[in-house]
């Protein structure tokens, strides 16, 4: 760090490069920022931390001009930004660049086109000056130590980590001196994250200023000079990182909320106590007695030599073998693009398997459709809940019925028994503490917060009394409480004899829950590690393909 | 490519759209040198049959003297008779829209149903050896089957290969018209010597639907259409199939991930939509033309789109069908009385469609919140 | 016309194909621009018809006036489609259909009002349109890949939100693209009335707008591919007239296969077959038809 303790003028508005004061921003139903201030000193690496929902991204987006604040003032380099209709173009002009997971490169365009977009510096007549742009981009790329990038390749042919580097390049191409990064390591393997930080440190050494939004305290400790903490939309403290303790930051971040023991948040491999308030599947509103699975030695679910092709006829998943036992959680780790998505879809049944077989309790499922698999006991918590799990225009009762619309005990059948399903869902709302507002079951799904939506999805999966539960990115976009609910549910499911497959890009989650961790890289399983041997470093190495020497034999012969 | 189509919406929006259409028509008439008030009055009279002034012999009257209102039963009957195919085809288009499909092919499906119905109607021609009670339902069923087949084709193409149904149904419309024209000028031509028209011989008398008002075209076909409307309402309110269709229309990915056979549902829906239009065709043959000819389907297929969009969900389609039926027959009457070309009704229809389509964009609560915040916010947060 | 003179019927068929493909190519280029920018353009049919009418109605004395009218009408209707889909957030198909129906109704009305006794115009030599049709695909290709406008157009058609984050508004490229597509489609219509028939008749677009859209899809939203598709469909449109001219007949199984009525269905049937064969392999622009803001 280039600042000695004590010389960083933490909240001095006069020396601040970025100065935001009294920022308030409202969205329908929610106040995202309440009177927030932020002072970022030039040349610093400034972290902004807080839980999901604290308002960090909002603040960043306001700074970048994505939308204007309702109240408050912003100064950049001493000059007040008075134009409230401030757009990203303005921010770019002032030397600000944003690297955001959601609005990254455009997949179908080539790398150089992505870099040029909006800053084409066209030749007279509007013609693109491709060669010139490539030359300049190459120059920048070498300055950053990124070497020669394949500028003509389509953006989606690169890994997520590589794409992110191109995004940084893109910002620098426009002369950015201030970089805003919004949770950039959310989907990166540890080694990739390290590479990113190395790059960022190079940039600060060259005089750039970095504002870094994250919820990972480890990163804050290791790299930042200053840290600002947001909680429930307010700024609850600015500190010089070197002068703080991680526990202190954590406490400021989450406050003193009841029911969330501090020690479950600090570390990666601590066990989770299964909560006794968790609804027992056996007391399900359907009044079906719970029959615990008899312990057997044969696997519950077997994936045998499975190959899956993607839309471009390339192998997304290549010849993998894996089995899951009763009462175990198997976590599948891997970076975005390693084949997780295709594999989870193939198990649920929405994607065809090119070759290989799937077995559930010895019964082959390979050619079965989704409904048949549901009937045999496969339930899912799908990846993108707005797209794949819920129908936002349906109400909660209709959503809960989804997948069971022909099932009499759920209120379905040839004709739908609406009073029955309404009653069931009211019960579910009560048991699972789904916050729905006044109307109860007839509320539309779109009017629930993400956490409550996910509760409904999880409840639906669990109450169908499955044998195998496939959970994909189950806590994406959820705050701590909702995430904890999901973790307790998965833990409870496992204890009741389900087999759980957890697909996640979040290493911490995998490490907390899994009995075994299978790591995917480029469509193959490159390692299966039991709980004791699974560490972030080892898994990270496998995720990035670095360390195949550490692998255990694939698939079949498992301890 | 089609995405979700917001239909109908509030009653206010529907009324506003109608008003807008009529306003534009009025402006066009004025600019063209016609007297809009005269034209609208003729339009109204032709549409509803209601008028003041002197009562014609067959009119029903209410009140006396200067304030008497007369109902011309013929005009009203004509409106209702046009309502019949519009309601059935409107249900057809509406059914497709519920599944997220744009069925522009009601015209071709209607022709296919009319052809099939006509063929069955031929049995025992010219006087009919079948009892009517059997023959007419048989013709209706034949019409449904014919239409279902023509509707299933684009459904299969969409389900199997993702072919956009707007293009495929329109292509099939052209193909149907040409096939129909070919058939009535070649194989199915009326063999009666001296008949040169492009049409078939008349169907058996046992398959004729009798007019309810002398001289008009209104028959019991309207009852069939109304029953269909009730059946469709029931489908979506209570039946699991209706639930599945709505799920596919509002969230195909979620439907698929949860086990609904999306492709099968698409095909079923298009087949049912085709069947509805096919029944409309069969009724036109039985009630009005008593023979098959390519003009049986007229412009109903496209008109039905306006009906479905205006009518929206629930019972709105019946009212919308009446509106457009009345508009068409009113325009016909208007052209006779005031020389204003009846094609102005087509312009009204287009304006209505465009106005209905305007959406006041109300962002979905949590989608917006999640998207803009890029993270999660509990709606029940604690104070600081 | 001697049927046994093989080179002459090949030449005639080729010429007829080019003639029939000309309006398809022009309209398809409009379709490519519009769809690559993310706007579904079902209005092509209406735009063609509007261009045909404008060219005929205003081209009675001077063809130049007619052409100017064509350009204005095409631009105006194209702009309307852009406005409805972008500002009024209308579903793209509804807007396209609405505009098409409006044009059908309006041209029928106006034709009856003003030209009930018939309309004859001097017209323009077909060659002019043919040359346009030869140039346009390359012009559009160049526009899309080598200019700033084209890059931004493609970006906005793939991911407007990402584009916005680089400081580009999605409105300008879309409005421009759809307005241009209106002009191109109107030119296609001008060919039909001014170049070919030298008059106007209601419904003279006879589905060509939809066939052009199919050519766009068949050609995977690439201008050269769409042109090939347009030529393919144009071939089938020309079969009917050529077979009549050369007096070929085929009767088989009681069906007169060469009946002009049946031959008329060929282009539409081939459109269906063409769509069946390619879809599944071609990915449309990612933001095509999406209405979320």
Binned at pLDDT 50, 70 and 90, residue A558 comes out as: very low
Q: Which residues of C touch B3 (CB under 8 A)?
A: 91-92, 289-291
Query: Quick check: A495 and A513 in contact, CB under 8 A?
Result: no
pLDDT of amino acid A319:
92
The answer on pLDDT for A408 being more than 90 is no
What is the pTM (predicted TM-score) of this model? 0.87
pLDDT of amino acid A547:
57
pLDDT of amino acid A553:
40
Binned at pLDDT 50, 70 and 90, residue C191 comes out as: very high
pLDDT of amino acid C49:
96
Residue A271 forms part of a structural domain: no
The answer on pLDDT for A265 being more than 70 is no
Query: Quick check: A324 and A518 in contact, CB under 8 A?
Result: no
What average pLDDT score do residues A156-178 get? 90
Query: Quick check: B352 and B20 in contact, CB under 8 A?
Result: yes
Euclidean distance between CA atoms A335 and B112, whole angstroms: 54
Q: What percent of chain A shows pLDDT beyond 90?
A: 42
Is the same domain home to A35 and A182?
yes
Is the same domain home to A355 and A339?
yes
- Find the CB nearest A451 among B254, B372, B376: B376
Question: Interface partners of B (3+ CB pairs, < 8 Å)?
Answer: A, C
Cβ pairs B/C, distance under 8 A: 149
Residue A488 forms part of a structural domain: yes
Binned at pLDDT 50, 70 and 90, residue A292 comes out as: low
pLDDT of amino acid C292:
52
Is the same domain home to A171 and A317?
no
Residue A521 forms part of a structural domain: yes
Most C CBs within 10 Å: which of A108, A156, A166, A352, as the mutation test of the C interface? A108
Q: Which two tokens stand for residue A169?
A: 């390049």
How confident is the prediction for chain A on average, in pLDDT?
84
Closest-approach residue (CA) in chain B for C96 = B354
Question: Interface partners of A (3+ CB pairs, < 8 Å)?
Answer: B, C
Beta bridge partners of A98: A180
Is the same domain home to A134 and A80?
no
Q: Which residues of B touch C255 (CB under 8 A)?
A: 186-187
The answer on pLDDT for A120 being more than 90 is no
Q: What is the CATH number of domain C6-278?
A: 1.10.3470.10
Radius of gyration of chain C measured on its C-alpha atoms? 19
Residues 6+ apart with CB under 8 A from B78: B46, B216, B217, B218, B329, B332, B333
What average pLDDT score do residues A52-62 get? 86
Q: What is the CATH number of the domain that holds B20?
A: 1.10.3470
The answer on pLDDT for C102 being more than 50 is yes
What is the domain count for chain B?
1
Residue B376 forms part of a structural domain: no
Is the same domain home to A402 and A437?
yes
Is the same domain home to A371 and A477?
yes
**Helix B262-284, helix B73-98: angle, nearest 10:** 170
Residue A286 forms part of a structural domain: no
Q: Which residues of B touch A416 (CB under 8 A)?
A: 238-240, 243
Report CA-CA distances (Å) from B56 to B53, B61, B69, B338, C228: 9, 10, 12, 19, 63
Q: Which residues of C touch A113 (CB under 8 A)?
A: 151, 154-155
Q: Which two tokens stand for residue B354?
A: 């465009």
Binned at pLDDT 50, 70 and 90, residue B275 comes out as: very high
Q: What percent of chain B shows pLDDT beyond 70?
A: 88
Domain that holds residue A162: 104-176
User: How many CA atoms are closer than 13 Å to the CA of B26, on its beta-carbon side?
Assistant: 11
DSSP A476: T
Domain that holds residue B36: 11-368
- The answer to whether the Cβ–Cβ distance between A416 and B239 falls below 8 Å is yes
Binned at pLDDT 50, 70 and 90, residue B271 comes out as: very high
Helices (H), B49-206: 73-98, 106-121, 132-161, 165-185
Is the same domain home to A401 and A458?
yes
- Find the CB nearest B347 among C93, C105, C113: C105
How confident is the prediction for chain B on average, in pLDDT?
83
- The answer to whether the Cβ–Cβ distance between C88 and B358 falls below 8 Å is yes
Q: Which two tokens stand for residue A272?
A: 């989770």
pLDDT of amino acid B369:
45
Euclidean distance between CA atoms B62 and B309, whole angstroms: 35
pLDDT of amino acid C5:
57
Euclidean distance between CA atoms A431 and B379, whole angstroms: 19
What average pLDDT score do residues A523-547 get? 86
Binned at pLDDT 50, 70 and 90, residue A147 comes out as: confident
Is the same domain home to A75 and A182?
yes
Interface predicted TM-score (ipTM) of this complex, two decimals: 0.87
The answer on pLDDT for C213 being more than 90 is yes
Is the same domain home to A419 and A482?
no
pLDDT of amino acid A447:
83
Binned at pLDDT 50, 70 and 90, residue B174 comes out as: very high
pLDDT of amino acid C6:
63
Q: Of the candidates A176, A200, A233, which is a domain's last residue?
A: A176
Helices (H), chain C: 6-36, 44-58, 63-86, 92-114, 126-146, 148-158, 160-165, 171-190, 208-218, 223-245, 260-263, 266-278
The answer on pLDDT for B378 being more than 50 is no
- The answer to whether the Cβ–Cβ distance between C272 and B104 falls below 8 Å is no
What average pLDDT score do residues A124-140 get? 89
Peptide bond into B126 cis (omega under 30): yes
Is the same domain home to A34 and A124?
no
Q: Which two tokens stand for residue A270?
A: 């601590």
- The answer to whether the Cβ–Cβ distance between A388 and B261 falls below 8 Å is no
- Residues B205-235 have pLDDT tens digits of 777 877 777 777 888 889 999 999 999 999 9
Q: What percent of chain A shows pLDDT beyond 70?
A: 87
What is the domain count for chain A?
4
Interface of A with B in 227-286 (CB under 8 A): 231-234, 236, 255, 257
Q: Which residues of B touch A415 (CB under 8 A)?
A: 238-240
- The answer to whether the Cβ–Cβ distance between C163 and A66 falls below 8 Å is no
- Please indicate whether residue A190 or residue A40 has the higher confidence score (pLDDT): A40
Is the same domain home to A216 and A171?
no
Residue B165 forms part of a structural domain: yes
Q: Which residues of B touch A233 (CB under 8 A)?
A: 381
- Residues A357-385 have pLDDT tens digits of 999 998 999 999 999 999 999 999 999 89
The answer on pLDDT for B373 being more than 60 is no
Residue B383 forms part of a structural domain: no
Question: Interface partners of C (3+ CB pairs, < 8 Å)?
Answer: A, B
- Residues A67-89 have pLDDT tens digits of 888 889 999 988 888 765 568 88
The answer on pLDDT for B63 being more than 90 is no
How many angstroms away from the CA of B231 is the closest CA of chain A? Answer: 13
Residue A289 forms part of a structural domain: no
Binned at pLDDT 50, 70 and 90, residue B380 comes out as: very low
pLDDT of amino acid A356:
94
Binned at pLDDT 50, 70 and 90, residue C134 comes out as: very high
pLDDT of amino acid A360:
93
pLDDT of amino acid A544:
82
Binned at pLDDT 50, 70 and 90, residue C281 comes out as: low
The answer on pLDDT for B362 being more than 50 is no
- Residues A296-343 have pLDDT tens digits of 667 899 999 999 998 777 889 999 999 999 989 999 999 888 899 999
Is the same domain home to A89 and A41?
yes
pLDDT of amino acid C75:
97
Q: Which residues of C touch A64 (CB under 8 A)?
A: 165
What average pLDDT score do residues B300-321 get? 85
pLDDT of amino acid B363:
44
Residue B230 forms part of a structural domain: yes
């Amino acid at each position: 760090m280039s600042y000695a303790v004590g010389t960083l003028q933490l909240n001095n508005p006069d020396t601040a490069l970025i100065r935001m004061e009294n920022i308030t921003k409202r969205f329908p139903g929610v106040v995202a920022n309440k009177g927030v201030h932020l002072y970022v000193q030039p040349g610093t690496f400034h972290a902004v931390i807080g839980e999901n929902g604290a308002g960090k991204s909002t603040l960043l987006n306001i700074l970048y001009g994505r939308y204007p604040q309702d109240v408050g003032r912003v100064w950049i380099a001493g000059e007040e930004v008075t134009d409230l209709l401030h757009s990203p173009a303005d921010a770019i002009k002032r030397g600000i660049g944003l690297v955001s997971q959601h609005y990254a490169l455009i997949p179908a365009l080539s790398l150089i086109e992505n870099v040029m977009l909006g800053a084409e510096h066209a030749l007279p007549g509007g013609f693109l000056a491709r060669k010139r742009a490539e030359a300049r981009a190459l120059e920048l790329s070498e300055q950053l130590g990124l070497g020669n990038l394949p500028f003509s390749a389509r953006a989606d042919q690169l890994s997520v980590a590589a794409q992110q580097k191109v995004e940084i390049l893109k910002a620098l191409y426009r002369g950015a001196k201030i970089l805003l990064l919004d949770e950039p390591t959310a989907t990166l393997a540890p080694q990739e994250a390290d590479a990113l930080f190395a790059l960022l440190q190079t940039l600060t050494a060259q005089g750039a200023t970095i504002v870094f939004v994250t919820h990972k305290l480890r990163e804050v400790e290791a790299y930042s000079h200053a840290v600002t903490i947001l909680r429930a939309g307010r700024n609850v403290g600015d500190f010089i990182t070197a002068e703080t303790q991680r526990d202190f930051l954590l406490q400021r971040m989450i406050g003193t909320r009841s029911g969330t023991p501090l020690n479950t948040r600090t570390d990666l491999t601590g066990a989770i106590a299964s909560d006794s308030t968790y609804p027992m599947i056996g007391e399900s509103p359907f009044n079906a007695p719970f029959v615990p699975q008899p312990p057997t030695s044969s696997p519950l679910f077997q994936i045998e030599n499975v190959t899956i092709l993607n839309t471009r006829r390339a192998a997304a998943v290549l010849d993998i073998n894996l089995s899951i036992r009763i009462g175990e959680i198997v976590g599948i780790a891997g970076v975005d693009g390693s084949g997780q998505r295709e594999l989870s879809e193939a198990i649920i049944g929405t994607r065809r398997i090119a070759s290989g077989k799937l077995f559930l309790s010895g019964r082959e499922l390979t050619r079965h459709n989704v409904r048949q698999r549901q009937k045999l006991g496969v339930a899912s918590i799908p990846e993108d809940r707005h797209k794949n799990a819920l129908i936002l225009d349906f109400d909660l009762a209709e959503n809960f019925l989804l997948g069971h619309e022909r099932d009499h005990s759920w209120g379905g059948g040839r004709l739908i028994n609406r009073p029955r399903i309404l009653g069931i869902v009211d019960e579910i709302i009560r048991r699972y503490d789904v916050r729905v507002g006044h109307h109860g079951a007839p509320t539309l799904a779109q009017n629930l917060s993400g956490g409550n939506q996910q509760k409904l999805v999880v409840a639906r999966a669990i109450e169908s009394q499955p044998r195998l539960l496939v959970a994909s990115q189950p806590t994406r976009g959820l705050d701590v409480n909702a995430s904890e609910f999901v973790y307790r549910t998965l833990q409870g499911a496992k204890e009741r004899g389900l087999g759980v497959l957890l697909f996640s890009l979040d290493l911490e989650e995998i490490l907390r829950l899994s009995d075994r961790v299978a790591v995917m890289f480029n469509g193959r399983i490159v390692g299966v590690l039991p709980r004791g041997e699974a560490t972030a470093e080892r898994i990270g190495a496998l995720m990035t393909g670095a360390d195949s020497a550490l692998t255990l034999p694939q698939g079949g012969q498992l301890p | 490519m089609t995405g979700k189509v917001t239909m109908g919406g509030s009653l206010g929006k529907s009324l506003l759209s109608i008003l807008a259409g009529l306003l534009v028509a009025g402006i066009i008439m004025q600019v063209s040198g016609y007297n809009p008030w005269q034209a609208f009055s003729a339009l109204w009279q032709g549409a509803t049959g209601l008028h003041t002034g002197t009562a014609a012999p067959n009119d029903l009257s209410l009140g006396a003297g200067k304030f008497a209102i007369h109902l011309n039963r013929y005009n009203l009957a004509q409106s209702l008779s046009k309502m019949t195919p519009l309601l059935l085809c409107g249900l057809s288009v509406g059914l497709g829209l519920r599944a997220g499909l744009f069925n522009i092919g009601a015209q071709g499906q209607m022709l296919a149903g009319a052809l099939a119905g006509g063929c069955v109607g031929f049995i025992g021609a010219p006087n009919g050896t079948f009892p009517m009670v059997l023959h007419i339902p048989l013709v209706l069923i034949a019409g449904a089957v014919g239409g279902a087949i023509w509707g299933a084709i684009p459904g299969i193409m969409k389900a199997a290969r993702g072919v956009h149904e707007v293009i495929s149904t329109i292509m099939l419309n052209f193909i149907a018209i040409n096939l129909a024209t070919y058939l009535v000028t070649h194989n199915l031509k009326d063999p009666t010597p001296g008949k040169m028209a492009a049409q078939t011989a008349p169907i058996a008398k046992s398959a004729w639907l009798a007019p309810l008002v002398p001289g008009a075209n209104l028959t019991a076909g309207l009852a069939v259409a109304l029953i269909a409307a009730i059946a469709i309402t029931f489908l979506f309110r209570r039946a699991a199939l209706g639930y599945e269709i709505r799920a596919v229309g509002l969230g195909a990915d979620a439907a698929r991930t949860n086990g609904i056979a999306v492709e099968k549902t698409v095909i079923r829906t298009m087949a049912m939509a085709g069947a509805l239009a096919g029944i409309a065709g069969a009724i036109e043959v039985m009630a009005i033309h008593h023979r098959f000819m390519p003009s049986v389907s007229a412009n109903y297929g496209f008109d039905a789109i306006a009906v479905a969009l205006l009518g929206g969900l629930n019972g709105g389609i019946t009212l919308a069908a009446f509106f457009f039926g009345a508009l068409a027959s009113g325009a016909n009457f208007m052209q006779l009385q005031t020389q204003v070309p009846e094609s102005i009704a087509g312009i009204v229809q287009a304006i209505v469609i465009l106005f209905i389509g305007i959406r006041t964009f109300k962002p979905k609560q949590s989608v917006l919140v999640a998207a803009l915040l890029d993270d999660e916010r509990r709606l029940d947060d604690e104070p600081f | 016309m001697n049927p046994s003179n093989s080179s002459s019927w090949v030449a005639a068929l080729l010429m007829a194909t080019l003639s029939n493909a000309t309006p398809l190519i022009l309209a398809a280029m409009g379709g490519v621009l519009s769809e690559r920018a993310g706007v579904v353009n079902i209005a092509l049919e209406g735009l063609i018809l509007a261009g045909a009418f404008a060219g005929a109605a205003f081209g009675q004395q001077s063809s130049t006036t007619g052409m100017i009218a064509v350009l204005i009408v095409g631009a105006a209707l194209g702009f309307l489609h852009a406005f409805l889909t972008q500002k009024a957030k209308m579903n793209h198909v509804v807007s396209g259909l609405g505009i098409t129906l409006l044009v059908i109704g309006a041209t029928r009305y106006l034709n009856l009002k003003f030209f009930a006794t018939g309309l004859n115009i001097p017209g323009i030599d077909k060659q002019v349109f043919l040359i346009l049709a030869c140039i346009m695909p390359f012009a559009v290709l160049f526009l899309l890949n080598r200019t700033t406008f084209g890059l931004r157009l493609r970006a906005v058609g793939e991911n407007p939100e990402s584009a916005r984050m680089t400081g580009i508004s999605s409105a300008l490229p879309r409005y421009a693209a759809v307005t241009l597509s209106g002009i191109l489609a109107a030119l296609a219509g001008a060919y039909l009335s001014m170049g070919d028939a030298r008059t106007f008749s209601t419904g003279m677009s006879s589905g060509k707008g939809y066939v052009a859209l199919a050519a766009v899809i068949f050609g995977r939203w690439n201008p050269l591919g769409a042109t090939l598709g347009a030529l393919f469909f144009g071939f089938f449109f020309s079969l009917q007239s050529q077979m009549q001219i050369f007096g070929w007949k085929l009767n088989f199984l009681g069906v007169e296969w060469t009946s002009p009525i049946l031959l008329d269905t060929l282009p539409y049937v081939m459109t269906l077959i063409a769509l069946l064969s390619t879809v599944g392999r071609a990915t449309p622009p990612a933001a095509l038809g999406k209405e979320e803001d």
